[in-house]
Structure 1
Amino acid sequence: MKWGLPVSIVVLLAGAGGGVVLAENFYGGPERSSSTAKFQSTDEVVSMTSPGGVEYTPGAVGHPDQQAVMVLLDNHFRSINDRDYDLWKSTVVESKWDELPEAKWNQAYGTTDDLDMKVHRIDPGPDGSLLAMLTFKSHQSPEDAPPDMPYRCLEWNLVYPMVITDSGRSLRLDTSKLPNSALRAACQE
């Protein structure tokens, strides 16, 4: 009888601890990163996926300009993946055309394939512009990757500024509006 209570307590504690471990493994605990330099997991719920494969979280879908953003980003990523310079030009402001004429653009994006695009937020920006916070992966030949990160796969976490065109009918990416808005790291594959 004198061992009954201590044994019962040990059994209860072991059961509770085992239940916690089982629940964490079954339901999944919080994501942990082994390095703060690496990207954190972006396991946000996806509310919709566009025809071009860009995923949108509920917060992004709820933005009143989400449809216009979707058209722009679908065309932008398709232009890169399909090596379609003319389509790319329709997604960026004209000053980018001078910065990346077709030969230079082909050299920069000639081996790039973008995937796993996810828009997390769409917010108002300065002067009536929009800001889309998104993540994606790019696969490319290491020699075509950014010189300081010559990897086959990069994870990008960035803000794309978007402005309304002069005609007022569509959006264009204007990456000059927000310099240094991109974080990148080698993929954790």
Structure 2
Amino acid sequence: MLVLVLGLTAAGAYFARDWYGAAEEETGGPAGETLPLAEQPGSPTVELSPDATAHPLGESVRQLLQTYFDAINGRNFDRWQTTVTADRVAATSEQQWLNDYDSTQDGSILVYRIESAPRNTLRVQVGFTSKQDIAQAPADLQVECINWYLALPVTKQGGQWKIAEAEPGGKQVNKPC
């Protein structure tokens, strides 16, 4: 049994390295990393890497994320609700959401990879740049401009793809612009 667990752990580490290492190997990071601070966060248009474009759901994922980021950038809670799972909607009041995203502007959005996962779900590896008031930045990174790299879980709900809550302890990297 121990050999099986160790083997699965090693395989998981290998695939995690492959999953999270692909972003920098493929493109060198999101476009926002190369822009001067005055031009951050960059274009609000969601783009797909060649790898993500090749996935059969690439365009569907791109459209979902475009609506998601447009809702955040436009402070449109009702529109945001159409892009996330019912659990996320139930856990987020409009006032809390507006407080969280009051000054946020996201751009330089690039989907690196889309992978099918168990139970009719997807893992979407995305990088983007976010500018916000320092007071609304994460507690552990109090800066005006952040480059984010994360894996978004996407699941089918009511026949539509929706962005689920990221798993606690899931891979997420952020760094100052």
Q: TM-score, length-normalised on structure 1?
A: 0.69
Which residue of 2 is the match for residue 83 of structure 1? Answer: 75
CA distance, structure 1, for counterparts of residue 97 and residue 123 of structure 2: 24
Contact persistence 2:126–2:151 (CA under 8 A): yes
Q: Which residue of 2 aligns with 1:159?
A: 151
Deviation for aligned residue 1:184: 0.7
Specify which structure has the bigger relative contact order, considering alpha-carbon pairs within 8 angstroms and separated by 6 or more residues.
2
**Higher helix residue share:** 2
Which residue in the other structure is 2:28 paired with? 43
Within-5 A mapping of 1:87-126: 87-126=79-118
Alignment of 1:1-189 (within 5 A): 42-43=27-28, 53-166=45-158, 168=159, 170-177=160-167, 179-187=169-177
Task: Pick which of 104-113 and 174-183 moved more.
Answer: 174-183
Q: Alignment length, in residue pairs?
A: 143
Larger Rg: 1
Residue 6 of structure 1 corresponds to which residue in structure 2? none
Deviation at 1:40, TM superposition (A): 5.3
Is the CA contact (8 Å cut-off) linking 2:112 and 2:125 kept in structure 1? Answer: yes
Which letter does structure 2 place at the counterpart of 1:181? K
Distance in structure 1 (CA, Å) of the matches to 2:124 and 2:165: 11
Over 3 Å counting, the alpha-carbon distance change for 1:179 and 1:92 in structure 2 is farther
Aligned residues with identical type, % of pairs: 28
Counterpart of 1:127 in 2: which secondary structure? Answer: coil
CA shift at 1:98, angstroms?
2.5
Given that 2:72 and 2:104 are in contact with CA atoms closer than 8 Å, whether structure 1 keeps it comes out as yes
Residue deviations 1:38-65 (CA, integer Å, cap 9, x gap): x958437x9xxxxx61111111001001
User: Residues 62-94 of structure 1: CA distance to partner in whole angstroms, max 9, x if unpaired?
Assistant: 100112101110100000000000010001111
Unaligned runs of 5+ in 1: 1-38, 47-51
Structure 2 gaps, min length 5: 1-22, 32-43
Residue 96 of structure 1 and its aligned partner are, at CA, apart by 1.0
**Root-mean-square deviation (Å):** 2.4
CA distance in 2, matches of 1:184, 1:105: 21
Structure 1 Cα separation of the partners of residues 51 and 168 of structure 2:
22
